[in-house]
Amino acid sequence: MKTEKSERTEAAKSAEPPRRAGRKTREVAIRGIAISPGVAIGAVYDTSEAPTEAPRRSVPAGQVEAEKARLAAAVVASRKQVGKLKGRLAVLPEEAQDELEPLLDAYSMMLGDSRLLRGARRRIAEELLAAETAVQDEAESIAGTILAAKDDDKPGLRRRAGEVREIARRLTRNLTAMPFRSLKGVPPGAILVAEELTPADAALLDPTRIAGVATEEGGADGHTAIMLRALGIPSVLGCPGLTEAARRGDEAVLDGGTGIIVIRPGAAALEAGREALAGYAKEKQRLAKLRRLPSVTLDGEEVELQANLEIPAELPLIAQAGAQGIGLLRTEFLFMNREDLPDEDAQFEAYSQIVGPLAGDGVTIRVLDWGGEKDMQALAEGVVPWHTGPNPALGLRGIRMLLKRPELLEAQFAAILRVATQGPVRILLPLVTIPAEVAQAREIYERVARRLRRKGIPLPDKLPPLGAMIETPGAALAADAIALEADFFAIGTNDLAMYTLAVDRAETEVSHLYDPLHPAVLRLVQFATEAALRLRMPVSVCGEMAGNPRLVPLLLGLGIRALSMNASAIPRVKQMVRTLKIDDCARFARRVMEQGDPRLIQELVMNFGNPDGA
């Protein structure tokens, strides 16, 4: 199925004069869109995918039911493929998961009782179209309607239209038995070149094998671009004439920071590429040296920098980054892609693989945070209904679900208590909104501890702290009361911003309104932090704000002294911490909190440390 851009590209190619046959040797530099920083030098590996355009076909009236059956079979196959992609989520970085999970959810919805499928079935019946023709026609109709909408968020409209077209392409391939793109043969160190990569393609890339990515189509605001940035692969998209200029095996130099790829570089270009690669490597080494240095401000204030952990396989990255332990261990990985629930022993073994190797560094384990929007088959079929309501974010999720099904909470508490003899741990309760939820959880917690002690199972003399995650306006505004029940706070700024601003970042029509620097969000962070500090209770930030070096002065100024983030963000955050003085941060925070305009707050944050700034 052709996009408007691909049609323009093909038209431009057809207008070019014929090129001489034979292998090209001339250097070609192509400027595209800088997507993901970094420099790559390697051999081109071009990968193409058979076009999904199927010949238009009509069918006789007697074949309508057979075409509907073909469509139904293609839907089943497509659902299985999307399910396999969801299984891939657990091994992707958090940012990639955050981008891909809602996209796959959107795909799943379109493969349900959606307008796309209803329209396709109607076209089969009324217009006597073959299934693949009906799907393509209906997808183009929907995409056209989306793109014609009067909305200033044009990138968001293009993403939505692209999602519809992508599902139509997947259905068409399954209907016509066209092969999907295969990335299994990409050699280590190669620069992947393609006309276009879908987000699903990007999810299959291995950052340890692929040196860089360049495509002829694509832009900075698409799902694929976000995925490539999250994977940390040097990338340039939107390179005109790329697939015509590059051939498999050609040497190439790609600079994801400048947006330039040079095919068959001459001596000068190759030398410049090597210098840029060395410079980039030195920068990484310089940041790596920070691993051994303390995270302390110029005036001697220590700031604890910890890592968020999705799966045990990420432990080496945490050690390399110099994290002071794990500030947020998400336990959902234990429940994903399985038909049964992990018992106490299985969870104990999993936690032991994490707590033991950290050699005494703390681990904050968040108990299961599940809602109807997450794909956990065992829970969906065995514990709570798959559909928990029209809005899962406001339904039975987090601590609410665990208190409704206390056997889940008891198994997790027992496993965590047992592993607490191997190293310092804390337990974090998700989506707390009222003090009673912490009190109820503590009753279960202490009951489990008494049961384990009666069995003679070794436990720490002092039970690990039980904390509350502050991620809703209600929890932030009731923080002083919740603090009387909890042992510590972890402020989850991602959900806090979402609930405060009533904005879902995955919803393209409103995603531009998502702003963690909105004064309402900052005031809630301040309120919760001050409530904890009044009781001398530990408080940390574990959302995306924690990993943004530019926001560190503000967070320190508000009183935060513990941050948990993706491991890759720790060196740059530490670098910022070591340039700051707490008094300067406090003055800066007071100035920011006086503002009511998010744009002014953004300007202050961006200009912090400049002579004319704060």
Predicted pLDDT at 231: 78
Fold for domain 61-176? Enzyme I; Chain A, domain 2 (1.10.274)
- In the chain, CATH 1.10.274.10 sits at 61-176
**51 vs 366, more confident:** 366
- Residues 146, 205 contacting (CB under 8 angstroms): no
Question: How does pLDDT run across 580-591, given as a tens digit for each residue?
Answer: 999 999 999 999
C-alpha to C-alpha distance for 158 and 147, rounded to whole angstroms: 7
Predicted pLDDT at 207: 81
64-73, 161-170, 488-497: segment of lowest average pLDDT? 161-170
Predicted pLDDT at 148: 81
CB atoms within 10 A of CB 236: 29
Is pLDDT of 574 > 80?
yes
Q: Is 308 annotated as contributing to ligand binding? A: no
Is pLDDT of 464 > 50?
yes
Q: What percent of the chain has pLDDT over 90?
A: 54
Q: Is 123 annotated as contributing to ligand binding? A: no
- In the chain, CATH 3.50.30.10 sits at 28-49+182-265
- Give bridge partners of residue 467 from the DSSP assignment: 428
Predicted pLDDT at 226: 73
Question: How does pLDDT run across 556-568, given as a tens digit for each residue?
Answer: 999 999 999 888 7
Q: Is 495 annotated as contributing to ligand binding? A: yes
This model's pTM is above 0.85: no
Question: How does pLDDT run across 407-439, given as a tens digit for each residue?
Answer: 999 999 999 999 999 999 999 999 999 999 999
- In the chain, CATH 3.20.20.60 sits at 307-464, 468-475+497-613
Fold for domain 468-475+497-613? TIM Barrel (3.20.20)
- Residues 137, 67 contacting (CB under 8 angstroms): no
* Tokens standing for residue 177: 């038995």
- Give bridge partners of residue 428 from the DSSP assignment: 366, 467
| Main-chain phi, psi angles of 593, to 5 degrees | -70, -10
Catalytic residue among 223, 239, 518, 585: 223
Question: How does pLDDT run across 108-146, given as a tens digit for each residue?
Answer: 888 988 889 999 999 999 999 999 999 999 999 998 988
**166 vs 555, more confident:** 555
- Residues 172, 136 contacting (CB under 8 angstroms): yes
| Main-chain phi, psi angles of 214, to 5 degrees | -140, 135
Q: Domain spanning 28-49+182-265: which superfamily?
A: Phosphohistidine domain (3.50.30.10)
Cβ-count burial of 558 within 10 angstroms (0-12 exposed, 13-18 middle, 19+ buried)? buried
Helix (H, G, I), strand (E, B) or coil at 39: strand
Predicted pLDDT at 613: 53
- Residues 246, 264 contacting (CB under 8 angstroms): no
223 tagged catalytic = yes
Q: Is 153 annotated as contributing to ligand binding? A: no
Question: How does pLDDT run across 36-47, given as a tens digit for each residue?
Answer: 888 999 999 987
CATH of domain 307-464: 3.20.20.60
Helix (H, G, I), strand (E, B) or coil at 208: coil
Is pLDDT of 277 > 50?
yes
Closest to 239 measured CA to CA, from 44, 93, 96: 44
Average pLDDT in the 536-555 region?
94
Q: Taking all residues of the chain, what is their mean pLDDT, rounded to a whole number?
A: 85
Catalytic residue among 239, 518, 542, 585: 542
Average pLDDT in the 156-180 region?
83
DSSP secondary structure of 551-603: GHHHHHHTT--EEEE-GGGHHHHHHHHTT--HHHHHHHHHHHHT---HHHHHH
Helix (H, G, I), strand (E, B) or coil at 87: helix
Confidence of residue 222 (pLDDT cuts 50, 70, 90): confident
DSSP secondary structure of 50-78: ---PPPP-B--GGGHHHHHHHHHHHHHHH
Is pLDDT of 385 > 50?
no
Predicted pLDDT at 337: 56
C-alpha to C-alpha distance for 508 and 529, rounded to whole angstroms: 31
C-alpha to C-alpha distance for 155 and 220, rounded to whole angstroms: 9
Angle at 201 between CA 196 and CA 207, to 5 degrees: 110
542 tagged catalytic = yes
* Tokens standing for residue 547: 């990993």
Beta strands in 264-368 (DSSP E): 304-309, 326-330, 363-366
Confidence of residue 257 (pLDDT cuts 50, 70, 90): confident
Predicted pLDDT at 152: 54
Average pLDDT in the 497-512 region?
76
Predicted pLDDT at 389: 58
Q: Which residues contact 588 (CB under 8 A, 6 or more apart)?
A: 553, 554, 557, 604, 608, 614
